[in-house]
Amino acid sequence: MTKSLLEITPEHKPPLDQNFCPAILGNRNYRNEAAKSDKTSPMHIALERTDGCICRVDLQVFDPGSEHDADTLRFVERQIKYMIWARGGSTLYLSGPTEICTAIRAIYSAGGARAYDANRMKVIYDKDFDIRIVDEADVPEAKERSIPIGGFLDGCRIGFDLGASDYKLSAVIDGEAVFTTEIPWNPSIQTDPEYYYKHINDGLKLAAKHLPRVDSIGGSAAGAYVDNMAKYASLFRSVPAELFNQRIRPIFLNLKEEWGVPFEVLNDGEVTALAGAMSLKKNSLLGIAMGSSEASGFVNEDSLFTGNYNELAYVPVDFNPGAATDPVADDIGCGAQYFSQQAVAKLAPEAGFDFPDDMLFPERLKAVQAKANEGDPAALDIFTTIGIYLGYSLPHYKELYDFKHVLILGRVTSGRGGEVIIEKTQEILNTVFPEIAKEIELHVPDEQSRRVGQAVAAASLPQLQKN
């Protein structure tokens, strides 16, 4: 049996995941081997969004019929999945060997292995995911845009960040937070839309008590939001589809109408990046928040948003065929299982922790972090493993994001465990990817900013109306 070109064991193995096969190493190895062969063909891939932006990748792949057919299909399919979740899009253009193109179309069609991915794009862009096999000349060129939003500090503002176990609130006057708090809630099991509306609105009223007036409201939440409409959000996953469409999709529009002030809501990953750009005064920044999932966002060299989807939680980072399965996407090796509370829960048994099945992930995280703060070696191994994961994944992310700075935050990064994550990430970059280590800088906010910084940044989203 031919050894896989993609399943490369790293020099630095995570202590609790000896079978980890970093995607960056597999991709590089495949490209290197293909470059040595005279039996390859070009493969051109472009993903177009409804706003006209296009992500394009050009590959060289082994000709069909080689001993590497399985690796070639997996190599191309994983690249496309990365493009879908990092950039987003509704039309996929393929040009290359017919066998590969037709196989990819089947994989990303209804009933295919990646039907979930295609359907999510349909939900986000209100358009069927269209896969077109075309001639090379008909593959569109890359096209990007910049979108100015956020960073407004004038006036009396409320910011909120909706998390899976609590939501954070800030009252801000001319850029200074005069009140911040975290309110526990349990949205994942709630089926009644009124639960969400009441809890969010009650929080806004609480923050408003600390302001002389409310000029604007900005929010951050996991999911996809377009013009303040919730297109998809795991936060509301228990709400029946019909009620979601009727009550949840317009929930922030209804809150805006009730409050009567400028109101903006963005994906929590985008606000993470905005928070980093504002606090660090840096641009070309990728923000990664390790909480209930992996939230991510990106601001370009002009500190502007690009309209990318930026859902790195579903980007493949591990090519181990036995990698952890994401229960939502029914796919393996994706970021949410490596950079979140889910990652801690996955690794905890390997470290010897025996938690009850009904113990919630946030509580498991707190228990592990308490042990890590005490210097417990088993607990520290969990965060060492996550740090090694991240060290190998940042160079992978850099293939589609031109970032110079990385802001790392979220509940998983609190305490000694968070320090270990950063230390190990930097160590991997320095020793395995020294050329990349010279190009990027890791940043962490202070402890308070890690927990409520996104709510403060969210408050800066709306631009005040001028009288």
Domains and CATH numbers, the chain: 39-138 (3.30.420), 156-256 (3.30.420.40), 271-454 (3.30.420.40)
Q: How confident is the model at residue 37 (pLDDT cuts 50, 70, 90)?
A: very high
Tokens 């190998």 belong to: 392
Exposure string over 6-42, b if 16+ CB within 10 A, otherwise e: bbbebeeebbbbeebbbbbbbbbbbeeebeeeeebee
Query: CB–CB of 154/464 below 8 Å?
Result: yes
pLDDT for the residue 451: 45
Predicted model pTM: 0.88
Is residue 271 very low, low, confident or very high in pLDDT (cuts 50, 70, 90)?
A: confident
**Residue recorded with tokens 């409201």:** 217
Residue 467 predicted with pLDDT over 70: no
Residues 446-458: what's their mean pLDDT?
65
> Among 308, 214, 309, 197, which residue's Cα sits nearest to residue 253?
197
Burial of 343 (C-beta count, 10 Å sphere; 0-12/13-18/19+): buried
pLDDT value at residue 193: 95
Match 């707190």 to its residue by tokens: 366
Task: Spell out the long-range contacts of 111-120 with Cβ–Cβ below 8 A and sequence spacing 24 or more.
Answer: 113/331, 114/77, 114/81, 114/331, 116/328, 116/329, 116/330, 116/331, 117/81, 117/84, 117/85, 117/314, 117/329, 117/331, 120/232
pLDDT reading at 172 higher than 60:
yes
296 Cβ partners below 8 Å, 6+ apart? 269, 272, 273, 286, 287, 288, 289, 310, 311, 312, 313
Query: Confidence class of residue 289 from pLDDT cuts 50, 70 and 90?
Result: confident
Q: Is the pLDDT of residue 266 over 50?
A: yes
- Show the beta-strand stretches assigned E in 312-455: 325-326, 331-332, 405-409, 441-443
* Residue 450 clears pLDDT 60, i.e. is over it: no
Residue pLDDT, tens place only, 354-376 = 999 999 999 999 999 999 999 99
Q: What is the pLDDT of residues 134-164, one digit of tens each?
A: 999 999 999 998 877 788 889 999 999 998 8
Residues 60, 42: contact at Cβ < 8 Å? yes
Q: Using pLDDT thresholds of 50, 70 and 90, give the confidence band for residue 272.
A: confident
Which residue, 394, 400, 402, 466, is CA-closest to 437? 394
Q: What are phi and psi of 287, to 5 degrees?
A: -105, 135
pLDDT digits (tens, 9 = 90+) for 318-329: 999 999 999 888
* HSE-CB for 349 with a 13 A CA cutoff: 7
What pLDDT, on a 0 to 100 scale, did the predictor assign at position 291?
A: 86
Does 1 have pLDDT greater than 80?
Answer: no
What is the pLDDT confidence band of residue 466, given thresholds at 50, 70 and 90?
A: low
Average pLDDT over residues 155-182: 92
Q: Is 347 helix (H, G, I), strand (E, B) or coil?
A: helix
Element containing residue 267 per DSSP (H, E):
strand 263-267
Short-list 87, 78, 214, CA closest to 157: 214
How high does pLDDT run on average in the chain? 93
Mean pLDDT for the stretch of residues 462-466: 81
pLDDT at 368: 98
Judge whether 421 and 386 are in contact, CB under 8 Å.
Answer: yes
Is residue 447 scored above 80 in pLDDT? no
Q: Can you give the pLDDT at residue 452?
A: 47
Instruction: Specify the higher pLDDT residue, 465 or 265.
Output: 265
Contacts of 94 (CB under 8 A, 6+ apart): 43, 44, 45, 100, 101, 104, 105, 131, 132, 133, 134
CA 368 to chain centre: 23
Quick one: DSSP state of residue 10?
P
pLDDT of 448 strictly over 60 = no
pLDDT grade for 446, boundaries at 50, 70 and 90:
low
Give strand pairing partners of 133. Answer: 94
407 forms beta bridges with: 287, 443
DSSP-assigned letter for residue 247? I
Contact between residue 202 and residue 214 where contact means Cβ atoms under 8 Å apart: no
Specify whether the CB–CB gap between 25 and 70 falls below 8 A.
no
d(CA 299, CA 402): 10
